[in-house]
A and B are shown apart, each in its own frame.
Chain A
Amino acid sequence: MLLIALLCVVGGMACGRHLPRLWLALVLAGMAAAIGAASLALGDGAGWEWRSAFRVGGEALHLRLDAISAMFLALMGVVGGGGAVYALGYWTDRDHPDSAPRGRLWWNVMLLSMGLVLLSSNGLHFLIAWEMFAISSYVLIALDRQRRDARAAGWLFLAASHAGTLCLFAFFAMLAARNGDWDLGPMSGRAELAPLFWLALAGFGVKAGLFPMHFWLPSAHANSPSHVSALMSGVAIKMGVYGIVRFSGWFPVPAAAGWIVMGAGAAGALLGIAFSLAQNDLKRLLAYCSVENVGIIFIGLGGALLGAAHGDAPWSRLLLAGALLHVWNHGLCKSLLFFCSGSVLHATGTREMSRLGGLWRAMPWTAGLFALGAVTISGLPPLNAFVSEWLIYLGLFDAASSHDASGWAAVPAALALAAAGALALASFIKAGAVVFLGAPRTEAAERAHESAPMILGPMFALAGACVLIGLAPVALWPAVAGAAHAWRPVWAAAAPAAPLFALGLANVALVVLFVFAGALLWRKANANGLRRALTWDCGYKTPSARMQYTSGSFGRTATDWFSSILLPQRHLRRPRGPFPARAALMGHFPDTVLERIIDPAAAAVMSLSLGARRLQHGRIQFYIVYLLGGLTILAMIVLLG
């Protein structure tokens, strides 16, 4: 199966340039094969392992597919296949004659390298695949290289990604130095490897967008083409999560790991969504929401580490299951939302929410799917993200009820999760309403049109997956339990630790009743007589589109509570004189970590480097002085040492 997947993806690379239809068929076949392999591994739980007789780069290839990597591989298959269909409708050869073929080629490179990251069980090959993955992401982010902000976003991504890779180099090199070879596998008995976890956390945390290492993420996800954003947000950041899950399962971790991971997760969940609420750019809003959801995943993961350290408490299984399930759920619904945002961008040419509005009339399908995605990502029942957040809540409640030290982490995390959930609701009500409801604010929004079936098709598929997981969560339990077993072998795969069946039942009942009640009320309203009239607006007769509540005003109340962290930049031009001509208020929310920490640090490094460059000026006399000075210092060291 994996061989078929590999052949299809490599074959797709060859023909991606000139034969887009064949490319699509090959990518879909490859992704189907990958999903098949993943479900086989998830089904029997035993996994698959293969060592090559030949050597690549001095090391034998060692591939391994177990339940953990299979979970991530299946997600990659779904989003990678859906994104390929979407790409053909969205980034067409007609509109982008230069970059569309290049995009298809690098799409396959990215899928291939992510697959290799998931499969390789050798440190050297892992690093090679990781680097390939970073470079292909860079090319895809900066696919539209005419645009300055896309180039800047790609550059920032590349720099951040390499800072992370540097940590991973150190991680794998020190591991290889301690083990004598690059081969990876379970080594839970080796307590001396525990401190290396911090290197892995830093390296993979950058890729996952774990707060405060998320600074590259908003611009990268906002400026790339939407199918790339979906793959980046849905799958690529999950590779960072995969790395931490993988190596915290295989290697021992320091005692503080659970606390730190959970704390960073809780902070990221809360602040990520606060930043999201403040945004006016639809795709930046979605990108910050990914920071929130990665935070939620890390709350679960940190709790699982904490529980494993507290004598394998039963609640830690709930937390790990919630975290792993949230990887899927967030991957599916965030890809759906990015596809929707791409559809809007395609139809109107802008991502700025204050220029949109009233799009539901022109694009009813996109509007409906965005509403579904908004309900999902806010973690509301009866859809899928609620199931995973519910599992995490249950684990946190049980941890708090255990009355031991873990409550100190569980209680703040539960409260952060509650506030983050409510803020997510505010953020997505805002996005949905400002973009799709009300009156069009500009001409571009008025002229919008519904997208092609190639764009809508993958969106429907992802929405269907979100609904299905919400209705039948118990069907996924074996997969999640298998992954938990692979993560920590003492946790034997057992009956569901939570009443997922009852929850599924409640969700099914709710969906049936929602449809029924909605139809009933619609019919009743029509039977009583439905009349259309101007919005009431308390009797005001000539409302204009500009009088509507904007995205900035909608989020103002809640973002003001976080203003000491968000540091909003507002420019107000007050109306002056008896006949004011112009007045304006502009609000801008730059990323605090990037502007206040990374940029000054980068500027300091730059000025230091420029200072060092002054030493090199081409005058030979001074070089002789340098030489003499160096020799004197060396001589002093020798004499004194």
Chain B
Amino acid sequence: MNPLTISVELIFRLALWLLLAPLLPGIINRVKACVAGRKGPPVLQLYYDLARLWQKSVVMSTLASPGFIVGPAVAWVALTGAALLMPIGTANGALSFKGDVLLLIYLLALARFCTAWAALETGSAFEGMGAAREVSYAVLTEAALIAAVLSLSVQSGSSTLGTMLAPSAGPGAILLAAGLFAVLLAENCRVPFDDPNTHLELTMIHEAMALDHSGPPLAVILHGASMKLLLFAVLLSQAVLPIGKLPQPAAAAVLAGSVLAVTVGVGLVESLMARFAFRRVPLLLTVAFLLCLFALVLAWKGGAQ
């Protein structure tokens, strides 16, 4: 491959992630509106919001340091880097090497660090609450995520994302799908873990962390959050379905279809369920962890025969 092909592919890949990501929250909102019998905002609403926010001026707390603005930027780059590592269909990630899966998970952690740091810049108790919840629940989701990728690694005998995600998840596929779906909901702060529509700051996680941000930094945070949702949807689809084994056009179609299905699923969960009380959230996350752990045990014991 010559440098030109690589850079064209990289730009195409980047454009795909950056442009498609804000579609997902729009779809979720449309599903919720349909279930509730409302008309709902346009599917492209987040694009309009981002364009508007990018033009706006910024109000910054008198207490905040430049980290208040640099933090979201670093978090966004970390999420984009994680997205670029993710294989799409039969194509490997932009950079593929043994152990890239761990780099991906830790880039997500870095994004969490930077978002929480930026939130705490303001010295507001609400943002402190949101950040504390985010980093505490992440202990369980990160353990679940490592259990999930470990089960894929044991199943496929590899720790390279391209090879791990290509086949189906084997005997533990259903367990893994359920576990990863719960992790997706928790990591992206959706119902039943968090309610993105709530207006009561005391009960929020992710939204509470962005309370003080405005203008371009808020746009970057919102876009990063949508990219994280897309990333988890793609990870879930590819982990469970044998997408990498299909021919390229079919793989792309199946991947798009399953990401859409996951998104609609998130919308349905959000329409049909209420948010859990905070003290029950760790219990649900433990269940997600156990599901991934059982998938791991199945992969481990299944492969030995």
The answer to whether the Cβ of B217 comes within 8 Å of any Cβ in the partner chain is yes
With a CB–CB cut-off of 8 A, which chain B residues contact A418? 142-143, 145-147
Asked if residues B128 and A549 are in contact (CB atoms below 8 Å), the reply is yes
Q: Which residues of B263-305 have CB atoms within 8 Å of chain A's CB atoms?
A: 282, 293, 296, 300, 303-304
* Contact A438:B131 (CB < 8 A) given known A411-B296, A502-B95, A510-B77: no
Asked if residues B67 and A530 are in contact (CB atoms below 8 Å), the reply is no
Asked if residues B120 and A438 are in contact (CB atoms below 8 Å), the reply is yes
Asked if residues B135 and A547 are in contact (CB atoms below 8 Å), the reply is no
Stretch from B21-29, B102-110, B189-197 that touches the partner: B102-110
Asked if residues A530 and B65 are in contact (CB atoms below 8 Å), the reply is no
B113, B220, B303, B304 interface centre (most CB from chain A within 10 Å)? B113
With a CB–CB cut-off of 8 A, which chain B residues contact A445? none
CB distance from B37 to the nearest CB of A (A): 31
Partner among A415, A506, A533 whose Cβ is within 8 Å of the Cβ of B95: A506
Chain A 524-547 interface mask (CB, 8 Å, partner B; 1/0): 110011111111111000010101
The answer to whether the Cβ of A312 comes within 8 Å of any Cβ in the partner chain is no
**B121 to chain A: closest residue by CB:** A437
Measured CA separation A6–B95 after assembly (Å):
48
* Contact A381:B110 (CB < 8 A) given known A390-B103, A429-B135, A506-B95: yes
Asked if residues B102 and A393 are in contact (CB atoms below 8 Å), the reply is yes
With a CB–CB cut-off of 8 A, which chain A residues contact B217? 521, 525
Asked if residues B117 and A381 are in contact (CB atoms below 8 Å), the reply is no
Measured CA separation A162–B62 after assembly (Å):
53
Asked if residues A533 and B102 are in contact (CB atoms below 8 Å), the reply is no
Asked if residues B106 and A381 are in contact (CB atoms below 8 Å), the reply is yes
Asked if residues A528 and B55 are in contact (CB atoms below 8 Å), the reply is yes
The answer to whether the Cβ of A522 comes within 8 Å of any Cβ in the partner chain is yes
Asked if residues B99 and A537 are in contact (CB atoms below 8 Å), the reply is no
With a CB–CB cut-off of 8 A, which chain B residues contact A548? 123-125, 128
Measured CA separation A414–B150 after assembly (Å):
9
The answer to whether the Cβ of A400 comes within 8 Å of any Cβ in the partner chain is yes
Stretch from A123-131, A511-519, A601-609 that touches the partner: A511-519
Measured CA separation A545–B124 after assembly (Å):
9
Partner among B73, B100, B106, B153 whose Cβ is within 8 Å of the Cβ of A380: B106
Categorize the interface residue count of chain B. 35 or more
With a CB–CB cut-off of 8 A, which chain A residues contact B74? 514, 517-518
**A507 to chain B: closest residue by CB:** B103
Asked if residues A403 and B102 are in contact (CB atoms below 8 Å), the reply is no
The answer to whether the Cβ of B46 comes within 8 Å of any Cβ in the partner chain is no
* Contact A400:B150 (CB < 8 A) given known A371-B117, A510-B78: yes
The answer to whether the Cβ of A425 comes within 8 Å of any Cβ in the partner chain is yes
Asked if residues B150 and A438 are in contact (CB atoms below 8 Å), the reply is no
Asked if residues A514 and B77 are in contact (CB atoms below 8 Å), the reply is yes
* Contact A438:B63 (CB < 8 A) given known A379-B106, A525-B217: yes
Measured CA separation A379–B110 after assembly (Å):
9
The answer to whether the Cβ of A567 comes within 8 Å of any Cβ in the partner chain is no
The answer to whether the Cβ of B59 comes within 8 Å of any Cβ in the partner chain is yes
CB distance from A266 to the nearest CB of B (A): 13
Q: Which residues of A357-380 have CB atoms within 8 Å of chain B's CB atoms?
A: 357-358, 360-361, 364, 367, 371, 374-375, 378-380
Asked if residues A422 and B109 are in contact (CB atoms below 8 Å), the reply is yes
Stretch from A42-50, A94-102, A195-203, A554-562 that touches the partner: A554-562
Asked if residues B159 and A398 are in contact (CB atoms below 8 Å), the reply is yes
The answer to whether the Cβ of B12 comes within 8 Å of any Cβ in the partner chain is no
Asked if residues A547 and B113 are in contact (CB atoms below 8 Å), the reply is no
With a CB–CB cut-off of 8 A, which chain A residues contact B106? 379-381, 386, 390, 421
Chain B 72-95 interface mask (CB, 8 Å, partner A; 1/0): 111011100100000000000001
**B293 to chain A: closest residue by CB:** A415
CB distance from A529 to the nearest CB of B (A): 3
The answer to whether the Cβ of B58 comes within 8 Å of any Cβ in the partner chain is yes
Chain A at the B interface: SS class: helix
CB distance from A500 to the nearest CB of B (A): 9
Partner among B56, B77, B109 whose Cβ is within 8 Å of the Cβ of A425: B109
Q: Which residues of A386-442 have CB atoms within 8 Å of chain B's CB atoms?
A: 386, 390, 393-394, 397-398, 400-401, 403, 407, 411, 414-415, 417-419, 421-423, 425-426, 429-430, 432-433, 437-439
The answer to whether the Cβ of A499 comes within 8 Å of any Cβ in the partner chain is yes
CB distance from A543 to the nearest CB of B (A): 7
Q: How many pairs of A and B residues are in contact by the CB < 8 Å rule?
A: 249
Partner among B67, B109, B116, B212 whose Cβ is within 8 Å of the Cβ of A536: B212
Chain B at the A interface: SS class: helix
The answer to whether the Cβ of B57 comes within 8 Å of any Cβ in the partner chain is yes
Partner among A411, A517, A529 whose Cβ is within 8 Å of the Cβ of B77: A517
CB distance from A554 to the nearest CB of B (A): 5
Asked if residues B153 and A397 are in contact (CB atoms below 8 Å), the reply is yes
Asked if residues A535 and B150 are in contact (CB atoms below 8 Å), the reply is no
Number of interface residues of A (CB under 8 A): 81
The answer to whether the Cβ of B136 comes within 8 Å of any Cβ in the partner chain is yes
Asked if residues B81 and A510 are in contact (CB atoms below 8 Å), the reply is yes
Asked if residues A394 and B102 are in contact (CB atoms below 8 Å), the reply is yes
Asked if residues A525 and B65 are in contact (CB atoms below 8 Å), the reply is no
* Contact A394:B159 (CB < 8 A) given known A514-B74, A521-B72, A548-B125: yes
With a CB–CB cut-off of 8 A, which chain B residues contact A419? 139-140, 142-143
CB distance from A98 to the nearest CB of B (A): 39
CB distance from B171 to the nearest CB of A (A): 14
Partner among B60, B113, B128, B216 whose Cβ is within 8 Å of the Cβ of A375: B113
**B156 to chain A: closest residue by CB:** A401
With a CB–CB cut-off of 8 A, which chain A residues contact B98? 394, 498-499
The answer to whether the Cβ of A520 comes within 8 Å of any Cβ in the partner chain is yes
Measured CA separation A121–B58 after assembly (Å):
65
The answer to whether the Cβ of A505 comes within 8 Å of any Cβ in the partner chain is yes
With a CB–CB cut-off of 8 A, which chain B residues contact A386? 106
Asked if residues B146 and A381 are in contact (CB atoms below 8 Å), the reply is no
The answer to whether the Cβ of B132 comes within 8 Å of any Cβ in the partner chain is yes
Asked if residues B216 and A422 are in contact (CB atoms below 8 Å), the reply is no
With a CB–CB cut-off of 8 A, which chain A residues contact B116? 429, 433
* Contact A378:B147 (CB < 8 A) given known A394-B98, A422-B135, A549-B125: no
Asked if residues B73 and A518 are in contact (CB atoms below 8 Å), the reply is yes
Measured CA separation A544–B304 after assembly (Å):
61
Asked if residues A561 and B282 are in contact (CB atoms below 8 Å), the reply is yes
The answer to whether the Cβ of A569 comes within 8 Å of any Cβ in the partner chain is no
Chain A positions within 8 Å of B, measured between CB atoms, are: 357-358, 360-361, 364, 367, 371, 374-375, 378-381, 386, 390, 393-394, 397-398, 400-401, 403, 407, 411, 414-415, 417-419, 421-423, 425-426, 429-430, 432-433, 437-439, 498-499, 502-503, 505-506, 509-510, 513-514, 517-518, 520-522, 524-525, 528-538, 543, 545, 547-549, 553-558, 561
- Give 8 A-B pairs besides A393-B102, A421-B142 with Cβ atoms closer than 8 angstroms: A358-B63, A407-B154, A421-B106, A429-B120, A437-B117, A525-B60, A533-B61, A543-B124
Chain B positions within 8 Å of A, measured between CB atoms, are: 54-63, 65-67, 69-70, 72-74, 76-78, 81, 95, 97-100, 102-103, 106-107, 109-110, 112-113, 116-117, 120-129, 131-133, 135-140, 142-143, 145-147, 150, 153-154, 157-159, 201, 211-212, 215-217, 220, 282, 293, 296, 300, 303-304
A-B contact pairs, 7 of them (CB 8 A): A378-B113, A393-B99, A400-B150, A415-B147, A525-B69, A529-B57, A556-B132
